[in-house]
Amino acid sequence: MTNQNVIVSDRNPILGSKTITVSVSNSPLFSSPSTYFTFPRRKFLELLEAADKNNNNNNKNNLGAGKIASWVDSMRDSSPTRLRSSSRDSDSDNDEKTSWIVRFPSALNMFDKIMNAAKGKQIVMFLDYDGTLSPIVEDPDKAYITHEMREVVKDVALNFPTAIVTGRSIDKVRAFVKLNEIYYAGSHGMDIEGPTNENSYGESNQGVLFQPAREFVPMIEKVVKILEEKTKCIPGAMVENNKFCLSVHFRRVDEKRWAALAEQVKSVLVDYPKLKLTQGRKVLEIRPTIKWDKGQALNFLLRSLGFENSENVVPVYIGDDRTDEDAFEVLREKGQGFGILVSKVPKETNASYSLQDPSQVNEFLKRLVEWKRKTVGEE
């Protein structure tokens, strides 16, 4: 692990006396020697407490009570009711959001700058699904994409190589999207398929390109059945089989039962050391322990498209979830392309820009297609 120092800074805080500024040095994620982050004082102390709990947690799967409490608190903070409540809090919260927007400006406001950097280069688009192309809904089986969004994604795919990178199974996300012109990377990139018909680039990739976790499918299926049985006693709990990984959704579970549900999920993993637990938005996900994520999937697709070592490619990744941070981190380390986080609230990210919701994603994609058509017309 790379040595990394976190120091409470004595520089003047951006948000006033109710905040704390920290300096992160020797981090592989940032090119500058020291990077500064500003947190509300209460949130910073909560982060320190959570980190202390996690550092003292030495059980077999690193899934002790402190870790579960941290996950539950994070999911609770991201719940819609809490987001609405926080918007009415003190001026400090408004200042925090203003500071965050300065660091991660709107991709719509910075559109011309982004396109200027892409002139003469090949843009490759990577899109998350839930919370990016479709809204986050209580029932994951009803996360439908709008007709307008489907049409704009199709237009994007006709102008740029385009992939949807999602935690969902390919079969489920394809049933939502209903487009054959794009690449699909399901199960957080552990199941990758190419377009099923020839597109404007003359490519005619048929079916499976890569499945690095194929041997884990029987194990995942077994764990799905165990969890379905174990979570029956918790109203609203939903277990989703994503083929190479699985999701346990908390969206329809009473907040008072979240810790109990997390405990049930954790208990199953004790017997499966080859599986690991990760957190998303109101979801816990179980995946194989192999080193593969959305960032690895992004690199694989760039290689497959012939852009592995090219300086004339601009990858653009748009996503809203923690799992998308792996792809944002890859782009930051490459120093190439842009990550765009979809979020209405400030959160730490490796992205470069932000958009607030799927409607703004739709607007950004429409402007991208218009820009492409205009530049082709000028050639």
Provide mean pLDDT across the span 130-146.
Answer: 95
pLDDT value for 206: 53
pLDDT confidence band for 94 (50 / 70 / 90): confident
Dist. CA 364–CA 212, nearest whole Å: 33
Name the percent of the chain lying above pLDDT 70. Answer: 73
Residue 224 binned pLDDT confidence (cut-offs 50, 70, 90): very high
Question: Is residue 57 predicted with pLDDT exceeding 50?
Answer: no
pLDDT band at 362 (very low <50, low <70, confident <90, very high): very high
Considering only CA atoms, which of 78, 28, 21 is closest in space to residue 44? Answer: 21
Average pLDDT taken over every residue of the chain: 82
What value does the mean pLDDT take over residues 70-77? 69
Residue 97 to residue 115: CA distance in whole angstroms: 26
Asked if residues 253 and 78 have their Cβ atoms less than 8 Å apart, the reply is no
The dihedral formed by the CA atoms of 18, 281, 106 and 336, expressed in degrees to the nearest 10: 110
Q: Compute the distance between CA of residue 78 and CA of residue 70 in angstroms, rounded to an integer.
A: 13
Residue 73 pLDDT class (50, 70, 90 cuts): confident
Dump pLDDT digits (tens) for 286-314.
999 999 999 999 999 999 999 988 999 99
**pTM score of the predicted model:** 0.78
Average pLDDT rounded to a whole number, residues 170-186: 96
What value does the mean pLDDT take over residues 198-202?
50
Q: What's the pLDDT score for residue 91? A: 65
- Averaged over 229-256, what is the pLDDT? 96
More confidently predicted of 122 and 67: 122
